[in-house]
Structure 1
Amino acid sequence: MKIPFNKPFLTGMETLYIEQAVLSGKISGNGDFTKKCQGFFEQRYGFKKCLLTTSCTDALEMAAILIDIKPGDEVIVPSFTFVSTANAFVLRGAKIVFADSCLDNPNLDPNQLEKLITRKTKAIVVVHYAGVACDMDPIMEIANQNSLFVIEDAAQAIDSFYKGKPLGGIGHLGTFSFHETKNIISGEGGMLAVNDDRFLGRAEIIWEKGTNRSSFFRGEVKKYSWVDIGSSFLPSEVIAAFLFAQLENLDTIQEVRKRIWNTYLGSFSELQDKMTFALPVIPDFATNNAHMFYLVCSDKAQRDGLITTLKEKSILSVFHYLSLHKSPFFAEKHDGRVLKNSNRFADCIVRLPFFYSLSAEEQTEVIEISKNYFIS
């Protein structure tokens, strides 16, 4: 493709830090670069404890273990999300109860929550789609009233806020992704943010394969043992070294991405009365971290036509999630409710090319071809 959908950005320090990690003699997990990355998030955003993982999927699976999900427990999850959001809890035996999106944005609609809660409900998982915050105050209030855990799937939401609070730091647990399509990357990678004191000690044990190995290396115990369930969730120092080079350049990366995002918004806003599609909505309570730029087409045919038109010009745009409640795995398990907003976003969203090195000329070409498609 002449203009790809995504192109990973390198700051120039990644390979140097990887070399440093290798020469240090320790490239397994929980070394110096791991601690630097975790410290970065704890200091910058005030998260109580951060643990790097090999993916956001792993962080979600850790969250499911931490809140002690058991067969028969119910977990409320938005249908418009990536499969990992639900799968992490299905693996522990949970029944997934899917919630619909808001009318004007893909995030979970908090007005639906109370009618979905039963005596078996254990947790609510929110997904901050495109890095834009869900309305967390009513969600947390409903959760607290019903003694439920809230887990934030903040895979796309690094450096984004809700009423001044960092996303991933509001619920009991938060999860992040550093996949190559995200703002800050390490190829594959993720992180668990622990915000509830009850989970601080156990999170580290689960992270270290169910052992108290970290306590042993800090000199807190004389030997380490198998003390809980867990798995090999921590990444190697190679991944952490790559990630730290990115984190050092977070502000620069964000500045460029926001400029690209605002250029898209301003250009498409010019269509005004001729607009047959919708632009992203950023609520007053949310900030925009410029994770992606998407358009909501009028229907699936218009969306597919735009993708085809751009592809004919060697420009790759993509649709996004398909509603999980309609998936082959889950369709027969769903309770039959029609989740019309989730279905609409599944049919109508198109994501335009978005990456740090997208040039002004490339972006102009994407915009002009798209605009001509809509007004022709």
Structure 2
Amino acid sequence: MPWTVLLFAASMFVAYANGANDNFKGVATLFGSGTTTYRKALWLATGATLTGSVAAAFVATTLIQTFGGRGLIPAALAGSKPFLVAVILGAAFTVALATKIGAPISTTHSLTGAMIGTGLVAVGFDLGFSTLWTNFLKPLMVSPLLAVGLALLAYPLFRLAANWTGITKEACLCVGEEFVPVAVATTAEGRHLPIGTTPLRVVLDEAEGCRRRYTGTMMGVSAQTVLDGVHYLSAGAVSFARGLNDTPKIVALGVAAGSVDLTWGASLVALFMALGGLLHARSVAETVSTRITAMDADQGVIANLVTSFLVIFASRWGLPVSTTHVSCGALFGIGASNGKAQWGVVRNIVLAWVITLPVAALVAAGIYVLLQRVA
């Protein structure tokens, strides 16, 4: 069996699935706050993620070692191509299924679950469980809680600073046609005619109906212009951080098997992540942008700054945090702070996170058993 070809194909599959599920999360606040359109946000995410993926080949070597299975599984097994193919395919199928139903889950979590499931089948309980907790599970569990806490703390501080400098939000007047139920009459010819008119109405709105803007200036520049600029930069930073954090995790298993060159592997993973995002990001994009919480641009900026800080810090120190968990955690915090969180959606997302690891473990274990029989 051409294991090298199969390993390469599996790696590109998980990269594509990762892009479809994860690429838009960095720019979700731009779209969700009405700052830009879906298509423009998607292209920004793609470009920034590609840049982060290229940078990962040079600065994220610790993550590559971590996801090569060091300390978690025996060294001989870490280089076994059937084992690696099963792990990658188990994670890929799990992420692809979640993307199909619009659930934002973690590729990091899926890869971890797949390694555990396949490892248990291959070597029983001869796994590095202390390494599993310290290097994998603890960062995955703690990071969303940190994101929630930082977002809850940062947004009120931001509002205090804005009020202190005289920069305030303004309400908006929305002018347009509004649906109004009318009576209907039937003519002798059988045609239906409305009775009454639907005039233009002026509506005072401070929520999702129209975009709220900031008044005031900062060093002679409109406060809203500055905020929008920071919003775009912070969204780009999150997408860059995602590429920096996720690419080495996918490349690592191929590098461990000696089948993939690090630089070329990172480049190809970046390409397939971009394709996955461009072609299949919409369902997850709608969930993370509009269903978790309503938000204004300033709230989106805070969520992005919290996410990019935590993910870049984790990448530097080789901690396998999930960009999904961190970005969604920041949005949970913003929703709790502004009182607009959709807690039913939040509950469903957290439930999806809980079952990600066992589902990936079962799928990967099943694939490994099948590969052992046909090899």
Query: What TM-score results when the alignment is normalised by the length of structure 2?
Result: 0.25
Larger Rg: 2
As a proportion of its length, which structure holds more strand? 1
Point out the structure with the larger helix share. Answer: 2
**Structure with more contact order per residue of length (Cα contacts < 8 Å, sep ≥ 6):** 2
